Amino acid sequence: MAGPRNISVSETSRPVLPRHAKLKYDETRKVWVILAPERVLAPDEIAVEVLQLCNGERNVGNIADQLAAKYAAPREAILADVVVMLQDLADKGFLTEIREKTP
Amino acid sequence: MSDVLPNIPPEASDSLAVLEKQRSTAETFGIPLAVLLEITHRCPLQCPYCSNPVELDRSGKELTTEEWKKVLGELAEIGVLQVHFSGGEPTARKDLVELVKHATDVGLYTNLITSAVLLTRERLSELAEAGLCHVQISFQGIEEGLADRVAGYKGGHRKKLEVARWTRELDLPLTVNAVMHRQNLHQLPDIIQMSVDLDADRLEVANVQYYGWALKNRAALMPTVAQLDACTDIVEAARERLKGRLTIDYVVPDYYALRPKKCMGGWGRQFFNISPAGKVLPCHAAESITGLDFLSVRSNHSIAWIWQNSEAFNRYRGTGWMKEPCKSCEFREIDFGGCRCQAFALTGDAANTDPACALSPLHETIFKQAEAEAAGETSRFLYRNFAGGTLESDNGT
C-alpha cells in the first residue's frame, strides 16, 4: 500500500487516495468509480464529493466546513459522517494520508 | 444526517463484481469491467498446472505491438476499466512498457500478472513510470527446493522474493498469488506469513482448477479432503487475524464441493480474455472446447460485436442451452451449471452439467477418482512447454 497502513481518520487527518486507487468518471456506465487492484468500487454521490476534496492538503475538518456551508447542514453531523466514510475506505486500503515530514 | 453519507459499498467477494451487481448485465451483457490480456504464451516457468491451453500459441502468431495498442484503445472506448497484462509471462514481450504506457494514456487501470523472474529493477521502475497500477507475483511455495521444482526453474523463488521487495520499494501495491495443491498445501501458513513479510496487500490462495495442463497432472496435484478442510480453516483464521492488513481471496477446488462454481460469473456474462493470437474468449480455457469458433481481433468484427453477437459467446449464455438436470434446477441462474470447460473435459459435452455438481450423474465417480488420486503415490510432474509437456525426471528436473 502506498503510504502508511492502519490509518485512523480524525478531524486533523489530511487524506488522499493512494496512487493505486483512482477516482474516475465512467462514461459508459455514467457512474463514478474507484479503480483499485482487482476491484471496482462504486462510491455514491456524496462520497465522490468528499473524495474530490481529499487532495492531501485539506484536512477532514476543512472538508466538513466546506460541506456544511454548501448544504447548510450541522457541521458536527457532517464531520461524523465524513470520518466514518473515509475510515471505511482506509480500512479497505484505498485511502492514505499526508503526514508531516520529520526533518 | 446519517443517510447523507452512506458508506461506500463493500467490495464484492467476486472481484470486480460491484458494478455488475448494481446494474445486472443478465439481459444486456454489458461490456465487462476488466479484461485479461494474455499477451504471450512464452514463459520461462513450466508449472504443471498452467492455465494456458495445452496447445500454446507460438510467438509468430502473437499480435504485434500496434495490434495490441489498437485493442487497448478499443477496450477503453467500449467501457472496459481495467486490464490485466498476463501470459504466459507478459514481461517476455519486449514492448510491455510501451503497452502499459499506451493503456495508461487511453485511461485504463493496469495490472501486471507475472512470474517476476525476468524482471530487473530498472524495468520494473520503467513500468511504474509508465503508469502501472498493481503487480501480482506468483509463488509456487515457501522455499526454493519445492518452489523451484514446481516451477521447473532454478533460482526462480529467490528472484521472486527480490522483485516483490522492489515492487513495494517503488510504492506499487503487491498481490501474492499462491497456487495450491497436494504437494505444497502444508506450506500455506508460511505463505501467509511470507505475504505479510513482503508487505503485500492481497494474497490469492488459489487451489488448482483441473483443466488443460492441470488435468494432465491431476494425480500429482489433487489434495486430500483433509488437506482442503485444513486449508479452509487456515484461511479463515488468517482473514480474521490480518483484517485491515492483508486481504485474502480464496479459490476452492470444486471436485470436493457439492455445488459447482459460477465459473467466470457465467459464460459470456462478465468476463472475456484475449489470447496471444488475438482470439476473444469467454474464459482462458475456452479453446479446450472443440467445435466452437472463436473470433479474433484480426477479424473484421469489433471486440464489442464479438462479445455481443458471436456464436461462441452466445452458445452457453443464459439458460436456454441447458439439459437436465440443469434445465429444471432451482440453482440454474445461481451457478449456470458450473464450468463449461470442465464439463467438456470430463464428459465430452460442454452442455452437460459440470461434474463438480452433486446433481451430475458423474459426480460420485469423479469424487472417488479424486480421492483415490489424492491418496496415490504419483508425485511426478508433466511440465508445461511448447513441445506438449516434458515428464519430470527422477532427480526432479
Task: Summarize pLDDT for B262-276 with one digit per residue, the tens.
Answer: 888 899 998 999 999
Residue A29: list chain B partners with CB under 8 A: 19, 23, 30, 79
What does the buried/exposed string (b/e) look like for B240-275 if buried means 16 or more CB atoms within 10 Å of the residue's CB? eebeebbbbbbebbbbbbeebbbbbbbbbbbbbbbb
Cell of B160: 521472486
> Are B145 and B178 found together in one domain?
yes
Average pLDDT of the segment spanning B282-301: 94
> Are B247 and B273 found together in one domain?
no
Q: Please answer yes or no on whether B173 and A2 come within 8 Å at the CB atom.
A: yes
Q: Report how far residue B131's alpha carbon sits from residue B126's, in angstroms, rounded to the nearest whole number.
A: 9
pLDDT tens for each residue of B124-179: 999 999 999 999 999 999 999 999 999 999 999 999 999 999 999 999 999 999 99
> Are B286 and B166 found together in one domain?
no
Q: What's the total number of domains in chain B?
A: 2
Which residue among A1, A18, A42 sits closest to B18, beta carbon to beta carbon? A42
Is the pLDDT at B213 greater than 70? The verdict is: yes
Give percent above pLDDT 70 in chain A: 90
Report residue B274: phi and psi, to 5°: -120, 125
pLDDT tens for each residue of A53-70: 999 899 999 999 999 999
Distance from CA of A20 to the nearest CA of B (A): 5
ipTM over 0.90? The verdict is no
Tell me the β-bridge partners of B85.
B37, B112
Distance from CA of B373 to the nearest CA of A (A): 34
Cell of A56: 492531501
Residue A74: list chain B partners with CB under 8 A: 1
Residue B375 lies in a domain: no
Residue B251 lies in a domain: yes
Is the pLDDT at B22 greater than 60? The verdict is: no
> Are B72 and B212 found together in one domain?
yes
> Are B247 and B304 found together in one domain?
no
Q: Report how far residue A92's alpha carbon sits from residue A9's, in angstroms, rounded to the nearest whole number.
A: 13
The length of chain B is 397
Choose the mutation target among A25, A40, A70 for the interface with B, i.e. most B CBs under 10 Å: A40
> Are B137 and B87 found together in one domain?
yes
Residue B306 lies in a domain: yes
Q: Please answer yes or no on whether B34 and A82 come within 8 Å at the CB atom.
A: no
> How far does Cα B311 stand from its chain's mean position?
24
> Are B296 and B349 found together in one domain?
yes
Residue B6: list chain A partners with CB under 8 A: 44, 46-47
- Which A residues 18-47 touch B at CB under 8 Å? 18-20, 22, 24, 26-29, 31, 33-35, 37-44, 46-47
Domain that holds residue B271: 265-360
Q: Tell me if B35 sits within 8 A of B82, measured CB to CB.
A: yes
Task: Kindly indicate the confidence band of residue A5, based on its pLDDT and cuts at 50, 70 and 90.
Answer: low
Residue partners of B170: CB distance under 8 A and separation at least 6: B124, B125, B128
Q: Report how far residue A31's alpha carbon sits from residue B45's, in angstroms, rounded to the nearest whole number.
A: 41
Q: A15-97 domain in CATH 1.10.10.1150?
A: yes
> Are B114 and B147 found together in one domain?
yes
Domain ranges of chain A: 15-97
pLDDT at B21: 45
Task: Kindly indicate the confidence band of residue A100, based on its pLDDT and cuts at 50, 70 and 90.
Answer: low
Distance from CA of A19 to the nearest CA of B (A): 7
Domain boundary among B235, B256, B277: B256
Residue B374 lies in a domain: no
pLDDT at A93: 79
Q: Report how far residue B284's alpha carbon sits from residue B281's, in angstroms, rounded to the nearest whole number.
A: 7
Q: Please answer yes or no on whether A37 and B33 come within 8 Å at the CB atom.
A: no
Using alpha carbons, select from B178, B218, B217 the residue that is nearest to residue B392. Answer: B217
DSSP state of B173: -
> Are B68 and B164 found together in one domain?
yes
Q: Report how far residue A25's alpha carbon sits from residue A32's, in angstroms, rounded to the nearest whole number.
A: 4
Domain boundary among B256, B290, B314: B256
Q: Tell me if B20 sits within 8 A of B240, measured CB to CB.
A: no
**Dihedral sign for Cα atoms in the order B219, B224, B229, B234:** negative
pLDDT at B259: 87
Q: Report how far residue B311's alpha carbon sits from residue B330's, in angstroms, rounded to the nearest whole number.
A: 27
Give percent above pLDDT 70 in chain B: 92
* Count of C-beta atoms within a 10 Å radius of residue B376: 12
Q: Please answer yes or no on whether B16 and A77 come within 8 Å at the CB atom.
A: no
Q: Taking every pair of C-alpha atoms in chain A, what is the biggest distance, in angstroms?
A: 46
Choose the mutation target among B5, B85, B172 for the interface with A, i.e. most A CBs under 10 Å: B5
> Are B291 and B352 found together in one domain?
yes
Q: Chain B residues contacting A, CB < 8 Å? A: 1-2, 4-11, 15-16, 18-19, 22-23, 30-31, 33-34, 78-79, 81-82, 107, 109, 111, 133-134, 136, 171-173, 175, 199, 201-202, 244-245, 247, 249
Is the pLDDT at B2 greater than 60? The verdict is: no
Residue type, A72: A
Residue partners of A56: CB distance under 8 A and separation at least 6: A14, A15, A16, A97, A98
Residue B382 lies in a domain: no
> Are B247 and B285 found together in one domain?
no
Residue B159 lies in a domain: yes
Q: Please answer yes or no on whether A50 and B171 come within 8 Å at the CB atom.
A: no
Task: Kindly indicate the confidence band of residue B257, based on its pLDDT and cuts at 50, 70 and 90.
Answer: confident
Which residue among A35, A43, A77 sits closest to B1, beta carbon to beta carbon? A77
> Are B272 and B233 found together in one domain?
no
Q: Please answer yes or no on whether A73 and B4 come within 8 Å at the CB atom.
A: yes
Is the pLDDT at A38 greater than 90? The verdict is: no
DSSP 3-state assignment of B331?
coil
pLDDT tens for each residue of B341-379: 999 999 999 999 999 999 999 999 988 999 999 999 889
pLDDT tens for each residue of B58-102: 999 999 999 999 999 999 999 999 999 999 999 999 999 999 999
Cell of B261: 462454481
Residue type, B391: L
**For residue B82, what is the domain's CATH number?**
3.20.20.70
Is A69 an interface residue toward B (CB < 8 Å)? no
Is the pLDDT at B114 greater than 80? The verdict is: yes
Mean pLDDT for all residues in chain B: 90
Choose the mutation target among B109, B114, B196 for the interface with A, i.e. most A CBs under 10 Å: B109
Q: Report how far residue B357's alpha carbon sits from residue B37's, in angstroms, rounded to the nearest whole number.
A: 30
Residue A35: list chain B partners with CB under 8 A: 81-82, 109, 133
